Amino acid sequence: MKIKPDLKIVLAILLLALVIFPVMAQERQVTGTVYEPDGVTPVFGATVVIKGTATGTSTDARGAYSIRVTGDNPVL
C-alpha cells in the first residue's frame, strides 16, 4: 500500500505531537518563600537550586522565589 505524501506529513506531525506534548506537560512553575529559622523573617537573596542541576534562582526582598521544574518530584 502506497501512502500519499500529504498523508505522510500529517502522520509525522501527529507522531511528533504525541511525543512532545507529554514532555511539555511535565514542566511546571514552583513558587515559595524562604524564611530565617525563626519562621517569620524572610531571607533576601537566598539561592534556590534544583538538586543535581545548575538551574536556580534567587529570592526577592520578601524571600519569595519562582522556578520552573520538570519531573514528578524535584528536590530544591
- Collapse the DSSP code of 33 into the 3-class scheme (helix H, G, I; strand E, B; otherwise coil) and give the result: strand
What domain range is 13 assigned to? Answer: 5-69
Per-residue pLDDT tens for 18-72? 776 655 557 889 999 999 999 999 999 999 999 999 999 999 999 999 999 987 7
What is the DSSP code string of 41-73? Answer: SBPTT-EEE-TTSS-EEE--TTSEEEEEE-SSS
Residue 76 belongs to some domain of the structure? no
pTM: 0.65
Residue 74 belongs to some domain of the structure? no
| Count: domains in the chain | 1
Residue 31 belongs to some domain of the structure? yes
For the beta carbon of residue 36, count every other beta carbon within 10 angstroms.
11
Residue 50 belongs to some domain of the structure? yes
